[in-house]
Each structure stands twice: as C-alpha cells, then as structure tokens.
Amino acid sequence: MSGVQVFLEKDDMNDYIATRYDQFLQDLETVVNIDSASDHLPGLAQVAAFFERRFSALGWYVNTHWFLEGFGPCLQSSNVNPESFQGPYDLLCLGHIDTVFPEGTAQERPFRLVNGRALGPGVAD
C-alpha cells in the first residue's frame, strides 16, 4: 500500500492545511509535553512511538532503529515500501526528536497558545 499523493494549487493547499490545523495543534501539544532531552531515553522512545503511530495511521511504512546503546531511536518512514521501491525518492525530510530541555521542563512549561502563538519546550524546534 502506498501513501496518497496530493497535488494541489496554492489556494487548495491552504484549504487542505486549514482543515487539518486542529489536528496539527493537538499533535504539537502531545510531543511538546513529552520530556525529550537528548539523554532522556524514555521520552525519546515515547516521541518516536507517537510519530510511528501517526505515520502508520496514514498507511506509511515505518521502522524504528536503535543504532547505539544509550542513544535514542531513529525513525524511518516512507509512503512507499522501501524494500521493493526501485525509483528515486522525490522528497527527503530529516528531523530530530530530542530537545535541549532537561527532564521536568515539559511539566513546568507545558504547551500553550498565547495570542495565536504556540509556546512550550521545543515548540519551534
């Protein structure tokens, strides 16, 4: 099963995004409220599991890799089966799931919206 490809004009894209804005904010709140310092492995695993569920729900192929003991997971997701796909990818997105904030920061400064701005540890990272 491959992911859905969406080709939209600018105005259509704005409408497409607008219909998903509330879900985006919910997802952002979820991950911002998880302590995910680079050395906090339980939090890193929790964030990776969250994204694994979200991508899997879209029908994407998801693999979690643990390359080195004592370090957090790496998540690989693709809208095509990477084991059988023969063509070149047309888009590559890279990201990270850790923050610089120590354990406890998410509870001290949880996600919140103030005057239309999202605030919280790692919200703009």
Residue 1 pLDDT: 40
In the chain, the amino acid numbered 25 is L
- Residues 7-55 pLDDT 10s: 556 677 788 888 989 999 999 999 999 999 999 999 999 999 999 999 9
Residue 45 to residue 26: CA distance in whole angstroms = 19
| Closest listed residue to residue 97, CA positions, set 59, 43, 23, 17 | 43
pTM of the entire structure?
Answer: 0.82
Question: Which two structure tokens, joined as six digits, stand for 46?
Answer: 């929790």
The pLDDT tens digits of the residues spanning 56-97 come to 998 999 999 999 988 889 999 988 888 888 887 767 778 899
What is the per-residue pLDDT across 98-111, written as a single tens digit (0 to 9) for each?
999 999 999 999 99
Q: Give the model's pLDDT for residue 9.
A: 66
Strands 112-114 and 117-119 turn out to be: antiparallel
pLDDT at 37: 94
